[in-house]
Structure 1
């Protein structure tokens, strides 16, 4: 196969899909590419193909020869294969079974008032410090950290440490930094689990107990397993939501008519959140999978062991599914987006992320109706070295 495209794809604006990605989509739904570290891979960009493959057991995160597997980057945890190839599907079902109860609709509904209170407190502080601020540092970053700390039972006082470790672990350009961050995060998780085991026997089995306490006291769950699950939740539960809040605010501030529409009709916030989730990805990264067997994707033969990248953002910008996909429109029916995945690996934290986003934009717009960007969109910096991406800062004024 001839490979003409290499990641990362040039992105002229945080709010614009990479032009190369749009060009690829016109050629078909699957493309041979090279990753940022030069390894061959398949990039899947069609909505229907991405959706189907997200729930296809013929793809997985493990590889039979992990040392020889193609990689997307230098991140130890996110740049290549993880898990045991022979037991991957069984291990995944076990993980879902252990974590699903902690994200039940009942528990998420119970958490909403706390999310609303935390958001209100942060906006009070924003108002006191105004009339200009970095919305990333003052809202997008601290809110998801505070929420996940309460849910998991992680001390909020440790936020600077664990956030630094999660960012290091997600560094796709520096293997040493990624290894060190992952080691520090796992060591912290083990220490936290050990403390929960010592202290958690007093009421630790109640429904009100935090997630890590309940994992630590679950029969058959080792310290290592509880620490791994807890720290994965810590990473996924705040890093991705930080990005979504920042990008959501940017989309709305850059499209003043949409901001004003939400100000006039707050009932549109749920639809606005779905459009933010659909529009915010810039593409060119993709969910990492390896083919477990030979398979055909849109008449293209993918061989066992091949690296396959399922580009959720490209799927969310497929004109066959979303009319005028590059247009941001909070009145769009965007609920079919792929941002949280699909099928057996659908994101467990999706309900919590939605609660946080709905709460943020309900309160932010009503409290700061005159807020505007303090810098042109093209001048904003994206964290291209991190797996999660997102904005480095979001200067605003009101």
Structure 2
């Protein structure tokens, strides 16, 4: 076997798969790599293999000896093992059962008018402001924050503070900073829970407080996990999706002329962008074989859903954006028992953005060369630092 490839891979083009990853993918579906912190791991890049392993109980987030486990990065959120090795599966099933009702189809349908109203207001503000404008700061970031604050019952006026803690917690290069940010976020969650105990509202945190068998600590932990995931990932996705459309005028015009394409287009936009050199971290709970390669118990396995979404065996010409493509097989939200519980909410936000943005700003265009744009490479979810536009 060739020498282990070093993560993260260089990605000179923000909108294209890293050349090293593309080369590895052409060689097979599983590869030996070194993580950003120098630990050895397996990187799985094939769609069929990633999809199957996402539901394989022989992989998990916990490790029998967490202190000796390989790490994917320095983030306290996903850099290393999480959970209790002996009870991981039952613990995960319980937590999912606690959260699922709050993301039911009924709850999500009830949110749609509010999401549309928030999107419209943000676009009103954008239209009334100066040009060029930063679409990231004006729309991609505030919309998910507003929505998740509404859903959870978190004061929107606290956004600057919890955003700073979230960014610190998501830092992949500085473990002390990440741990401090996570601790601050948890402390904030505990203060919110205490407030809901005395003055409950019609929100997720209040409903979790009223659930038998759920402690204040667990409610704070779950709530802050939702707060983090509910705005960080969606903000990054909105920004990258807008950039993809702004650099593909034919696809932008297709949505302008055929707005009924939006739901299908969202699936293709979810498939196409994003960092593709990392992966979802899992640890082998026992020895297992992946496409003829033996993975030993305790080893770190990175399931690259980004690479899987670019697998030509599943998506013809995967590097081409095609909003008419049937892209529902993408693995952006995972698969199986760990499928992202917030996926319906993220889809609604994305649909609202591109349903309203394009007819409102049909001549929207980048205000700087695409080569001048940068992404956050020190954060779990990446995302653009800014998206200057004019119209």
Give the TM-score category using the shorter length: over 0.9
- Alignment CA distance shift 1:353-1:60 (3 Å): same
- Secondary structure of the 1:393 match is coil
Q: Aligned-pair distance for 1:131?
A: 3.1
Contact 2:278 2:304 (C-alpha < 8 Å) held by counterparts? yes
Which of the residues 293, 311, 331 maps onto 2:286? 293
Which deviations, in whole Å up to 9, do the C-alpha atoms of 1:223-268 show, x marking residues without a partner?
Answer: 1100000000001111000011000100000000110111011001
Q: 1:112, 1:57 → 2: CA distance?
A: 35
Corresponding residue number in structure 2 for 1:314 = 307
Which of the residues 342, 347, 359 maps onto 2:340? 347
Corresponding residue number in structure 1 for 2:48 = 48
Q: 1:290, 1:298 → 2: CA distance?
A: 17
Corresponding residue number in structure 2 for 1:60 = 60
- Secondary structure of the 1:67 match is helix
Q: 1:157, 1:276 → 2: CA distance?
A: 31
Contact 1:60 1:291 (C-alpha < 8 Å) held by counterparts? yes
Corresponding residue number in structure 2 for 1:167 = 167
Corresponding residue number in structure 1 for 2:246 = 253
Q: 2:259, 2:77 → 1: CA distance?
A: 40
Contact 2:141 2:235 (C-alpha < 8 Å) held by counterparts? yes
Corresponding residue number in structure 1 for 2:108 = 108
Corresponding residue number in structure 1 for 2:318 = 325
Corresponding residue number in structure 2 for 1:243 = 236
- Secondary structure of the 2:117 match is helix
Q: Aligned-pair distance for 1:4?
A: 3.2
Corresponding residue number in structure 2 for 1:26 = 26
Q: 1:167, 1:41 → 2: CA distance?
A: 26
Corresponding residue number in structure 1 for 2:178 = 178
1:227 paired to 2:220: yes
Corresponding residue number in structure 2 for 1:88 = 88
Q: Aligned-pair distance for 1:272?
A: 1.0
Q: 1:321, 1:170 → 2: CA distance?
A: 31
Contact 1:3 1:34 (C-alpha < 8 Å) held by counterparts? no
Corresponding residue number in structure 1 for 2:132 = 132
Task: Kindly tell me the number of residue pairs found equivalent between the two proteins.
Answer: 391
Corresponding residue number in structure 2 for 1:268 = 261
1:283 paired to 2:272: no
Which deviations, in whole Å up to 9, do the C-alpha atoms of 1:11-65 show, x marking residues without a partner?
Answer: 0111010000000011100000000000000000000000000111110000011
Q: Aligned-pair distance for 1:142?
A: 0.2
- Secondary structure of the 2:67 match is helix
Corresponding residue number in structure 2 for 1:14 = 14
Which of the residues 347, 361, 375 maps onto 1:382? 375
Q: 2:203, 2:111 → 1: CA distance?
A: 12
Q: 1:239, 1:76 → 2: CA distance?
A: 16
Q: Aligned-pair distance for 1:378?
A: 1.8
Contact 1:162 1:185 (C-alpha < 8 Å) held by counterparts? yes
- Secondary structure of the 2:24 match is helix
- TM-score w.r.t. the length of structure 2 is 0.99
Once superposed, what is the RMSD of the aligned Cα atoms? 0.8
Contact 2:275 2:382 (C-alpha < 8 Å) held by counterparts? no
Q: 1:254, 1:301 → 2: CA distance?
A: 42
Contact 2:8 2:36 (C-alpha < 8 Å) held by counterparts? yes
Corresponding residue number in structure 2 for 1:334 = 327
- TM-score w.r.t. the length of structure 1 is 0.97
Contact 2:237 2:274 (C-alpha < 8 Å) held by counterparts? no
Corresponding residue number in structure 2 for 1:194 = 194
Which of the residues 205, 209, 218 maps onto 1:216? 209
Q: 2:181, 2:91 → 1: CA distance?
A: 24
Q: 1:49, 1:309 → 2: CA distance?
A: 11
- Secondary structure of the 2:374 match is coil
Gaps of 5+ in 2: none
Q: 1:218, 1:365 → 2: CA distance?
A: 42
1:98 paired to 2:85: no
- Secondary structure of the 2:330 match is coil
